[in-house]
A and B are shown apart, each in its own frame.
Chain A
Amino acid sequence: GAGVSQSPSNKVTEKGKDVELRCDPISGHTALYWYRQSLGQGLEFLIYFQGNSAPDKSGLPSDRFSAERTGGSVSTLTIQRTQQEDSAVYLCASSLAFGGGTDTQYFGPGTRLTVL
């Protein structure tokens, strides 16, 4: 079946602009995750959604970052007033989180964000 999809694949923006990144998880997956991959910081967790529970936002680096998941499916990661240090590949993953932490996360191809 279809995997995790993300759009756009590439985004170039100017410093100070807002950007929205979209993630479409695997159908039926209840959990959705956002990670950031950058040269300096490696792969780092940003935020996690599980069903109707409050999201785990513990990885968001600043209040300029926010995310929502509508209808338990599609998610949007929004970065306000982008800075050059926000340049990175933003990866989305989804899983069948049936509890206990044993689920496998499946990743999308990522969105490469470049802030000029």
Chain B
Amino acid sequence: AQSVAQPEDQVNVAEGNPLTVKCTYSVSGNPYLFWYVQYPNRGLQFLLKYITGDNLVKGSYGFEAEFNKSQTSFHLKKPSALVSDSALYFCAVRDFVAAGNKLTFGGGTRVLVKP
């Protein structure tokens, strides 16, 4: 079975400081990994994904994530956080061979960027 863990319910960071949101996963095969962001009363907005190739993936709004196979992690990062980055962030995994096209999501991490 595929699973995702986001160990932090909330991350607080000052504007301009680096932002990291942690994600670890468990799959039986090769993982396809995704990050989504959710603003209040909105659906999920795609940020980036890792399928194969370069372990460092760059996405929307200056976000990037690093795939680490040995640590089974896919942490989301942004070098300089903005107040507008305050939102709920979800990591998701897909193990296509074992579980088909469905995504399994982590519990979400709320990011609060303070001015």
Contacts and interface: CB of A to CB of B under 8 A. Distances in A.
Interface stretch (B61-69, B77-85, B101-109): B101-109
Interface string A23-65: 0000000010101000000111100101000001011000000
B90 A101 contact: no
Interface residues of B, number: 23
Contacts, number: 60
B115 interface: no
Nearest to B44: A107
Nearest to B107: A42
Interface residues of A, number: 28
Nearest to A9: B41
Contacts of A4: 43
Contacts of A103: 101
Contact of A107 (B36, B94, B100, B107): B36
Contacts of B100: 48, 56, 101
A102 B46 CA distance: 14
A20 to B, nearest CB: 19
A104 B49 contact: yes
Given A4-B43, A107-B36, A109-B42, A101 B94 contact: yes
Interface of A: 4, 31, 33, 35, 42-45, 48, 50, 56, 58-59, 91, 93, 95, 97, 100-110
Interface of B: 32, 34, 36, 41-46, 49, 51, 90, 94, 96, 100-108
Given A4-B43, A33-B102, A101-B96, 12 more contacts: A43-B108, A45-B103, A48-B100, A56-B101, A91-B44, A95-B101, A103-B101, A104-B46, A104-B49, A107-B45, A109-B42, A110-B42
